Amino acid sequence: MQWEDSADNEYHLTPKGWIPGTEYIYGETDQIVERPADTIETWVRRLQQATSRSPERIEWERIWVSSKCSEIENSSLKRRFPSPV
């Protein structure tokens, strides 16, 4: 299937909350946003839409996790800072 719209947005979970990262449109970007040094996890939000009249399909995928943070700390941050979108 050919997608009319396709956008991927990175989000980095840090002790201060969610920080937006690089945005890709059809796999291309104008600027790479570096991952903050204190990032706990990095997630990608993928949005696809077959046509302008069809529903959007949104998927989340965790693409990176810090080995410096325990699962307990990780869970605590996610409760404190819910999903960025």
Statement: residue 35 has pLDDT above 80:
yes
Read off the pLDDT of residues 41-78 as tens digits, 9 standing for 90 and up: 999 999 888 777 888 889 999 999 999 988 899 999 99
pLDDT at 20: 97
Q: Which pTM does this prediction carry? A: 0.84
Angle at 45 between CA 39 and CA 51, to 5 degrees: 165
Strand, helix or coil for residue 80: helix
pLDDT at 4 over 80: no
| Banded model confidence at residue 3, pLDDT cuts 50, 70, 90 | very low
